Every structure is written in structure tokens, then in C-alpha cells.
């Protein structure tokens, strides 16, 4: 339900009284008894009355989900069900006076008195007809990166960064026709004890990132048991800046608990958490 929705035919409700009056004055469809919420031919939008926990309610339904439920005591329950889509946001915004719902960061956000608020799971309860405010809205967080800790961890990867830079100098930019033959590469990388120590770290890092999009195909394993990023893709090419960017992704993913933390946002503020995947 992410297509554009025409909301011109939808009524607009301040609260329970308006929704109830609409139910009473609208003639049900003769064939199935449903009360249409928009055009009569649109079977996916309906409205009906009911009782929840002893409180009279009016429920506005979109497909199989009651997206807006008006309570006689002045509350409003919004629910996107399994579809936090732009279409759901458009319909709720058209139905309820005093709020604006938008699709944001793979979910829905409600703008009302006090700011913008995310749904808790799929629901959000509000109160105050016409001047809606959320009841116990979920707290919102963003993932921050501690730069000082990130720099400390990055120092551990300095040998590997040097290793990659040297490897690209030997191989060149074209994997099919390397600048130097394999024998010279092995001499440069695999025969000294210092190189062996560096390769142990290299092996650990590349093993942890074999499924990364930055690796195309399996890394090469030579006769010494050392792994080389033979198929590192265009993201690295052979520049120090791109290698550093690649290592930053590796460090953040493998050391997220050390260098990342959650920061609570102020009441009524939502932001896209671009680093969320690091702590999930």
C-alpha cells in the first residue's frame, strides 16, 4: 500500500462526535451493509461503531486494519498494522483534524501538539480532540559514534591498512594483469616473520568481512595459508582514502559495542538513525 492515494472524498473528523455523526447520516451499501468511508465503490475504506473495554468507539478501517479509532472519552488510537506505508499516512492525515502523518525511516511519524512522534510497534494513542497530544509516546534514540574510541581501535588496524596499500601497489588496478608476478608478491608479503604477524590480523579481518559487499568472490588463500583480498571491488580501487573508508566500515561493524552508543532524543523530536544497523 505504498501507491499514491486520492484523499479528496474522505471526511475529516475532529473527534468521536464527528465520526459518530458521519456514521449515522451515511447510508450503508445495500449489497453488503458496510458504511463507506470515501467513495461508495471503494470497498477498502469503511467506518463502523463498536465498544472497546466498555467505551463506545468509531472505527475507521483501511483494508484489514482499523487505522483510526475514536473513543467517546476523547482518545484516539492510530494503528498502521503491518503496513507503515505512505498510503496509510495519507489516509490518516485526511481523516483526523489536527495531525499530520508521514512516512519516515521505514515507519510512520505523527506531527501534532508537542512535535513529532513515532508509533510504538504499530500503534500510537493520543488525546485531546482537535489538539491531539500523544499518551506515553515511545522514546526515540539515535546511534552515535565515539570518535576518540574509534580512533583508538583504528590504531590496531594500521598494519592491515599498510598491508592493503602495499598489496595494491604490487597488484596494480587491473587484477587480470598484475604489476608484479605472484612470486614477487609472496616474497613481499609472506616470507618475513613480521609479515606473518601482520597477515594474522589480515586473516581475522577478512574472515569477518567475507560476506561484505566490499568483497567480490572469495579472498585468495595462498600456499602459506595467508588470505589476500584479491577481489576487493571498485569501492577500494587502489587509493588510500578508499581503503581507509573500507576499514572504517569494518571497524564499526566488528567493534560497534566499543565505539557506538545510544543517545535519547528530546521529547517530540525524531531523526533518522543512520548508524542503527551497527548495534542491531
Give the ranges where 65-214 is alpha helix by DSSP (H): 86-95, 147-156, 158-171, 182-190, 193-208
Is the domain of 202 the same as that of 229?
A: yes
In a domain, 169, yes or no: yes
Give residue-wise pLDDT tens across range 130-165.
899 999 999 999 999 999 998 888 888 777 777 767
Asked, for residue 25, whether it belongs to a domain, the answer is: yes
For residue 41, give its domain range: 16-136
Whether residue 177 is predicted with pLDDT greater than 70 in this model: the reply is no
Residues 125, 22 share a domain: yes
Please choose, from the candidates 126, 91, 88, 94, the residue with its C-alpha nearest in 3D space to the C-alpha of residue 107.
Answer: 88
Same domain, 176 and 233: yes
Residues 128 and 209 reside in one and the same domain: no
pLDDT at 1 over 60: no
Count of the separate structural domains present in the chain: 2
**Among candidate residues 136, 159, 190, the one where a domain is terminated:** 136
Query: Do residues 115 and 205 share a domain?
Result: no
Reported residue count of the chain is 280
Domain co-membership, 117 together with 150: no
Please write the tens of the pLDDT for every residue from 187-214. 555 444 454 455 455 555 544 444 443 3
The stretch 71-82 carries a mean pLDDT of 96
Let me know: does 91 contact 101? Beta carbons within 8 Å.
no
150 shares its domain with 126: no
SS3 180: coil
For residues 114 and 191, membership in a common domain is answered with no
Task: Determine, yes or no, domain membership for 274.
Answer: no
**The pLDDT of residue 244 is above 80:** no
Residue from 82, 75, 39, 79 nearest 61 by CA: 79
Q: Residue 68: helix, strand or coil by DSSP?
A: strand
Phi, psi (deg, nearest 5) at residue 110:
-105, 125
Which residue, 96, 115, 136, sits at the end of a domain?
136
Amino acid at each position: 500500500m505504498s501507491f499514491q492515494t486520492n484523499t479528496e472524498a474522505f471526511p475529516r473528523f475532529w473527534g468521536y462526535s464527528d465520526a459518530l455523526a458521519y456514521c449515522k447520516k451515511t447510508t450503508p451499501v445495500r449489497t453488503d451493509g458496510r458504511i463507506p468511508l470515501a467513495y461508495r465503490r471503494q470497498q477498502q475504506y469503511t467506518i463502523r461503531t463498536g465498544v472497546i473495554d466498555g467505551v463506545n468507539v468509531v472505527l475507521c478501517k483501511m483494508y484489514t486494519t482499523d487505522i483510526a479509532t475514536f473513543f467517546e472519552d476523547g482518545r484516539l488510537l492510530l494503528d498502521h498494522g503491518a503496513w507503515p506505508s505512505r498510503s496509510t499516512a495519507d489516509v490518516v492525515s485526511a481523516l483526523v483534524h489536527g495531525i499530520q502523518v508521514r512516512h519516515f525511516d521505514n515507519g510512520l511519524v505523527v506531527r501534532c501538539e508537542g512535535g513529532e512522534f513515532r508509533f510504538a510497534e504499530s500503534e500510537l494513542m493520543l488525546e485531546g480532540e482537535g489538539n491531539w497530544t500523544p499518551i506515553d509516546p515511545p522514546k526515540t534514540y539515535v546511534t552515535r559514534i565515539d570518535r576518540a574510541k574509534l580512533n583508538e581501535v583504528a590504531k590496531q588496524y594500521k598494519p592491515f591498512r599498510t598491508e592493503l596499500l602495499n598489496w595494491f601497489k604490487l597488484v596494480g588496478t587491473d587484477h587480470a594483469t598484475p604489476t608484479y608476478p605472484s612470486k614477487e608478491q609472496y616474497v613481499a608479503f609472506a616470507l618475513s616473520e613480521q609479515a606473518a604477524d601482520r597477515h594474522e590480523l589480515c586473516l581475522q579481518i577478512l574472515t569477518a568481512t567475507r560476506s561484505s559487499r566490499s568483497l567480490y568472490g572469495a579472498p585468495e588463500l595462498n600456499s602459506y595459508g595467508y588470505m589476500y583480498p584479491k577481489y576487493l571491488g571498485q569501492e577500494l580501487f587502489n587509493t588510500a582514502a578508499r581503503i581507509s573508508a573500507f576499514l572504517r566500515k569494518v571497524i564499526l561493524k566488528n567493534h560497534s559495542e566499543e565505539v557506538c552508543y545510544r543517545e535519547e532524543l528530546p521529547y517530540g523530536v525524531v531523526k533518522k538513525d543512520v548508524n542503527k544497523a551497527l548495534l542491531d
